Structure 1
Amino acid sequence: MGRATLADNVKGKDFSELPKETKTNTGDTNKVSNTNKNRNTTTSDSSRKKSRRRHKKMMTPVVSRVQRLFDTCKDVFSLSGAGIVPSADKIEQLRAVLDEIQPADVGLTPQMPFFRPPVTRRAPPITYLHIHECDKFSMGIFCLPPSGVLPLHNHPGMTVFSKLLFGTMHIKSYDWVGDAPSNASAVVDPSETVQHPEVRLAKLKVDSDFTAPCNASILYPADGGNMHCFTAVTACAVLDVLGPPYSDPDGRHCTYYFDYPFTKFSVDGVSVAEEEKDKHAWLQEREKPEELAVVGALYTGPEIVEN
């Protein structure tokens, strides 16, 4: 016969011979135990719910700002077409999204090679980062080194949003004067008989430096500075959204211009008040400038999901 263990002795004697008072106390203890069990169950349920909420929050994908821009453009330009301007509330919706975007949101830093100062006196190349283009809108970034220039050009039938991401840029822009003759021939002086190529009167809209951070600018098909020129005072980057985009088959091609002071030419039937002359200019179509070099580079920012 083997020896009883300590555990056997406890089970066989002490627990089986408890007096009635102790049994009553044990019943009370069970009540307390059940209460604690219920409390623990409630606490456990609450913890599980919190854990599920945390897990759900962790599982919710974070939408990048450039994705939000893409989604907003799809909405704003859903009815896009040449000369069609989105409603005022849609304009503000897109502007608000653009105003939040920082260089890091599109994978840019000023230290990237295409922002380096030119090593020669020739016009430095400008780098274009293509983000997206469809028949409704396009998104892309122009990266300009110091002294880089995007010459005066137009945006026929387009609504254009430009967001300066960093740096300082000089912007000069014009709108056509609606009641002035189109493609009028001009002479340097009324007494001269030498005719100059056709010119058209435009009114100066903007002629200022802009430094990031600043709000996005907007130009419209017939207002806001449809013809504009960008000159990099420092290395800078500008995010452009065009709706609709350029399209040669649809007649929306980019035209470049010379701009001349109003006093340089004289055109029959065109006059401007003396105090307004410095706010007007003659624009003359030109070929694409030979010195303009725009090169493409890979966009390395967050990927866009075209859902």
Structure 2
Amino acid sequence: MRVESSLADRVSVAELSLEKSKSGSRKSRRRHKKPAPMPSLVQRLFETCKEVFSDGRSGVVPHPADVDRLQSILDNVTAADVGLTPNMACFRNIEFQGPPPITYLHLYECDNFSIGIFCLPPSGVIPLHNHPGMTVFSKLLFGSIHIKSYDWVAIPQDANDTTNQTHSKSFLPPGAQLAKVKTDAIFTAPCETSILYPADGGNMHCFTAKTSCAVLDVLGPPYCDDEGRHCTYYNDFSYASFPGDARLVPCEGEEYAWLEETEKPDDFLVVGAPYRGPRIVEH
């Protein structure tokens, strides 16, 4: 009995030792498990957009702190972060009669926001258009681009104000409205993300590529015909192009124009292409 008890004790101790060894090994493996990879900048952009545009209603501008947060992420996005290089086919200058086609890369869209990239070859043009009820972030990833943007001007009813309602409407194109130039400049990457708002910041804008370039756009909320957010195109005319009985007296550095609604230009061609950058993962 004594021998059997001693043997049983030794077996029990051995089994306990083995179990502790296995447990220690499992803990060691847990301790040495590789950390999860950091999310891509594109994924971080997506997650931030979900938070910033959580309201999703037309005309609702995100809180200034959220605007700064999203702008900060976009300011750090590069062409490499979204899988783009300037030597890709969509940026080549191919001979066309009129502006060359623009390539659009779709990253994501939901009811609250959309993310996409416009790829413009040299001389590529995105004509003057609006962003009704939207807050729009545009990040130039590489290249140089000319941006001209406008905001609407409410013509005052008081004839003694800076403009006069007796301005001869017969000289104007039907439906033309007065707008103020917000931006008229060439931007070269790297540069800060530009932001426009539903009622200011250059809600109507056009892009003209000076070199091959790519623009990452975030729209919140996106275009939606059913909700009245459809894209309208415009012709612009300098204020002085249509003389009348009165003249707007701009302050120094101010410039005005008349904007006339028009159909989408026949020579504006946008083609879709697959996005090859880091994948966005929805949780």
TM-score, length basis structure 2: 0.82
Matched residue type, 2:173: H
Matches within 5 A, 1:1-307: 55-56=32-33, 58-179=34-155, 190=168, 196-266=173-243, 271-273=247-249, 279-307=255-283
Instruction: Flag the 1:293–1:180 CA change in 2: closer, same or farther, 3 A.
Output: farther
Instruction: Flag the 1:196–1:298 CA change in 2: closer, same or farther, 3 A.
Output: same
Shift of 1:265: 1.8
Residue 108 of structure 1 aligns to a residue whose secondary structure is coil
Checking the alignment, whether the CA contact within 8 Å between 1:262 and 1:277 is kept in structure 2 is: no
Deviation track 1:208-240 (CA, whole Å, cap 9, x = no partner) reads: 000001110000000100000000000000000
Identity of aligned residues (%): 59
Q: Distance in 1 between matches of 2:253 and 2:176?
A: 16
Instruction: Flag the 1:193–1:157 CA change in 2: closer, same or farther, 3 A.
Output: closer
C-alpha RMSD of matched pairs (Å): 2.4
Q: Distance in 2 between matches of 1:153 and 1:266?
A: 25
Give the greater-gyration-radius structure (CA). 1
Q: Distance in 1 between matches of 2:259 and 2:190?
A: 31
Matched residue type, 1:219: L
Matched residue type, 2:241: K
Checking the alignment, whether the CA contact within 8 Å between 1:257 and 1:284 is kept in structure 2 is: yes
Query: Residue 7 of structure 2 aligns with which residue?
Result: none
Instruction: Flag the 1:97–1:194 CA change in 2: closer, same or farther, 3 A.
Output: closer
Shift of 1:252: 0.2
Residue 67 of structure 1 aligns to a residue whose secondary structure is helix
Shift of 1:272: 1.4
Which consecutive residues of structure 2, in runs of 5 or more, have no partner in the other structure?
A: 1-23, 158-164
Checking the alignment, whether the CA contact within 8 Å between 1:180 and 1:200 is kept in structure 2 is: no
Shift of 1:60: 1.3
TM-score, length basis structure 1: 0.76
Task: State the number of aligned residues.
Answer: 251
**Which shows bigger deviation, 90-99 or 111-120?**
111-120
Checking the alignment, whether the CA contact within 8 Å between 2:171 and 2:242 is kept in structure 1 is: no
Residue 82 of structure 1 aligns to a residue whose secondary structure is coil
Matched residue type, 1:206: T
Checking the alignment, whether the CA contact within 8 Å between 2:106 and 2:116 is kept in structure 1 is: yes
Shift of 1:196: 3.0
